[in-house]
Structure 1
Amino acid sequence: MRQVRTSAGRPVPDVPSPVAGTFDDVVEVLTGRRTAVLTGAGVSTDSGIPDYRGPGSPPRNPMTFQDFVGDPAYRRHYWARNHVGWQHVGRKAPNAGHRALARLEARGVVTGIVTQNVDTLHEVAGSRRVIDLHGRYDQVLCLRCGTRYARSEVAERLEALNPGFAARVAPSDPEIAPDADAVIEQTEGFRVQDCWAPDPDGGPGPCGGMLKPDIVYFGETVPRPRVDAAYALVDASDALLVAGSSLAVQSGLRFVRHAVAGGLPVVVVNRGATRGDALATVTLHAGTSETLAGLDAVLPTPT
C-alpha cells in the first residue's frame, strides 16, 4: 500500500499498488460507485479507426502545431490528407463499447465521459455529457478571428478549389489515423482555403486567416475550460475508469493523478501497459468493447 498526498500536502486514503486484475476485480471496484470515464483511441478501434500506440499499430508521425502554423507545405499536406480522411471518419459507426457507455450514463452509473478522441462517436452513440478534450474532427477554427465552421462547409470550398482530388489520389478505403488524417502521399498542388468571414479589423475583404481543424495537435495546449470541466467531472464522481488509452501524454494522465490525489479508485482497461498503471487500483488487459458491454450487463445503478 502507498500513501498519496495532495498538492497541498494533505494525506488521502491509501491506494493499492497496481493489480493486474480480472473482470470480476473491475466489477468489485466499480459496483455502487458513480464513475467518470476517460476514453482513448482504443475505444474506437472496433469502429475501424486505428489508434496511435496499440499493439500492431504502424509508426505514425502526427502533425504538430508548430509544423502546421509555421510551414505552408506542411499545412497543405495536412489539409489534403484531411480532405480525404474526414469523410471516412464520418462514415464510421459506434461500436458496442460506445453504446454500453451511453446506456451506463442513462442509468446513472457513468457520470460523464472525458474523451481524447475527436471522432464524436460517443455523442453518436447517445452519450450526453461528453467533454471533447482534444476537439472534434467535424469543426474548423480560424486562428485569426476565431470564427468556427462546420467541417462540411470547409469541405465544399476545398472541393471547389480542388475538384475531384479525393477520387484521383485516394483508394476507396484509405488507412485513416485517429485525427481523421488519411494516409495518402500525392498532395502536391492541393489548394488550401483561408477564412472567408468578414475582416475583424474592418477591412474591405475577408478575414483571410489560417483555418485549422478544431483538433488539439501535438505541441498545442488543451483549452483551459475543457481541462477544468474534466476535473470537475472527476471531482463529482466516486471512481475513474480509463478505457482504451495508453495515457502516454499528460493531457490524459493528469486526470488519473487528480483522481488518486482525491482518494478515488482508478480502473484502467487497455490492451497494453499504460503510464497510469502504477497509479491504478486495478488494471485489466482486455478489449474495451467487450469489457464495457460486460460492465453494462452487471453493474447496478448506484443508490
Structure 2
Amino acid sequence: MTLPAQSRADECPDDLDRVVDLLAGRRLAVLTGAGLSTDSGIPDYRGPDSPPRTPMTYQQFVGDAAFRRHYWARNHVGWSHVRRAEPNAGHRALVALEARGVVVGVITQNVDLLHEDAGSRHVIDLHGRYDRVICLSCATVISRAALAERLDALNPGFTESIGDVGDVEIAPDADAVIEATAHFVVAPCERCGGLLKPEIVYFGENVPRERVARAFALVDAADALVVAGSSLTVMSGLRFVRHAAKAGQPVVIINRGPTRGDALATAKLDAGTSETLRALDARLRSPRPDQAAAAAPELSPGSEEVA
C-alpha cells in the first residue's frame, strides 16, 4: 500500500494506524538519512526545500590540491556547527524502541553521530563519521578535534573572518559554503606527511565491504525495514530496501517527498521523520519474548585506534 501524502504524522491517524498494524509485533531494522537530522539543525542534501548542491567527489579530493584546500576550508567552519548539534525527538524515539526490543539496530547514512549521542547501541555508520580523519598513505586515524587545533594554528583568524557559523550554509557532511578559500593552509599527516581525509565515504568511493556485510546482517536479523528521512537516491542505501523487499520483508518509508525506493515500499508516509517516529514509539508494542531473544547479534562497529 502507498499512503497518501500528508504533512504531519498526527494529521493522518488512519494511515499511521495502517503502518502500526503492519509493524506491530515485528523486529525492525531502521535505515536513516539526512531528513532525520534536519530537526537538529543540519540541513539535508535532497529534501524538497534543499538548495542544489554539487558534492566533491573522491577523485577531486585526491587529485586536485585546490579542491582539497577548498574542502578543508569549508569543512573547518562547518564541522563546528555539526559538533554542536543535538539529537532530536526522532533519534530519542529510536533509542526507546531499541530499549524495548522493537528496533534491532540502525543503519545510518548520516555522519553526524546523533544516533550514538542519543543513546542508540547498535548503529552502523554506513558513510563513516565526521569526528575522525584518516591518512590516505599510512592509515593513521586522528580525531577531527585534534585536526581542528592544527588548522586553527595554521590559519589564525580564518573562522572569525567568515563570520558567525549560523550565517554560513552548512551541509550534512560538516561542509560549509565559503568562497574565499585560496589562502587556507591544509595540514598534512604528522606521521608521514600524507593526505588527510575525513573518515567519510565520498561520492565516487565504495562503502567498505565489511560495513556493508554487517548492514545486510542487521536487515536479515529483523522482520521489517523502516526507512526514515532518506530519498534513497544513492545505491548505498537503496540496496537494503531491495534486499528486504526481495526477502519478503515489509518495507515502510517515512520521508518528505518521493524516494527512489517508493515502488518497493509496502507503505509510504510522506511526513516528517521526528513526529512519525515519536508516534510509532508511542504505539508499537514490544515483540514477544521469543522474538526478542532472537534479536540481532552484536552489530556495533569495530573501533579503530585514534592517534
Which residue among 229, 252, 255 is the counterpart of 1:270?
Answer: 255
Question: Tell me, what secondary structure is at the counterpart of 2:180?
Answer: coil
Distance 1:136 1:118 in 2: 5
Deviates more, 1:145-154 or 1:171-180: 171-180
- The yes-or-no answer on 1:180 pairing with 2:163 is no
Question: Tell me, what secondary structure is at the counterpart of 1:112?
Answer: strand
User: Which residue type is aligned with residue 151 of structure 1?
Assistant: R
Distance 2:21 2:200 in 1: 36
Match of 1:110 in 2: 103
Map Cα deviations across residues 77-117 of structure 1 (whole Å, 9 max, x no partner): 00000011101100011110001001111110000000000
- The yes-or-no answer on 1:252 pairing with 2:218 is no
- The yes-or-no answer on 1:196 pairing with 2:179 is no
Match of 1:291 in 2: 276
- The yes-or-no answer on 1:63 pairing with 2:71 is no
- The yes-or-no answer on 1:41 pairing with 2:34 is yes
User: Which residue type is aligned with residue 33 of structure 1?
Assistant: R
User: Which residue type is aligned with residue 69 of structure 1?
Assistant: V
Question: Tell me, what secondary structure is at the counterpart of 2:132?
Answer: strand
Distance 2:239 2:184 in 1: 39
Match of 1:135 in 2: 128
Asked if the contact 2:78–2:165 (Cα under 8 Å) also holds between the matched residues in 1, the reply is no
Match of 2:301 in 1: none
Q: How far did residue 172 of structure 1 move? A: 3.8
Q: How far did residue 286 of structure 1 move? A: 0.3
Distance 2:187 2:162 in 1: 19
Question: Tell me, what secondary structure is at the counterpart of 2:105?
Answer: strand
Distance 1:65 1:42 in 2: 24
Asked if the contact 1:170–1:184 (Cα under 8 Å) also holds between the matched residues in 2, the reply is no
User: Which residue type is aligned with residue 151 of structure 2?
Assistant: L
Match of 1:261 in 2: 246
Match of 2:19 in 1: 26
Q: TM-score, normalised by structure 2?
A: 0.89
Q: TM-score, normalised by structure 1?
A: 0.90
Distance 1:70 1:53 in 2: 26
Distance 1:68 1:172 in 2: 24
Question: Tell me, what secondary structure is at the counterpart of 1:111?
Answer: strand
> Percent same amino acid among aligned pairs?
69
Distance 1:242 1:95 in 2: 17
Question: Tell me, what secondary structure is at the counterpart of 1:141?
Answer: strand
User: Which residue type is aligned with residue 64 of structure 1?
Assistant: T
Gaps of 5+ in 2: 5-14, 289-307
Map Cα deviations across residues 145-192 of structure 1 (whole Å, 9 max, x no partner): 111010001111111110111011233412210110011111111000
Match of 1:148 in 2: 141
User: Which residue type is aligned with residue 19 of structure 1?
Assistant: T
Gaps of 5+ in 1: 1-17, 198-206
Question: Tell me, what secondary structure is at the counterpart of 1:103?
Answer: helix
Match of 1:220 in 2: 205
Match of 1:160 in 2: 153
- The yes-or-no answer on 1:301 pairing with 2:295 is no
Q: How far did residue 19 of structure 1 move? A: 1.6
Which residue among 219, 222, 225 is the counterpart of 1:240?
Answer: 225
Give every structure 1 segment of 4 or more consecutive aligned residues whose post-TM-superposition deviation is greater than 6 Å.
none
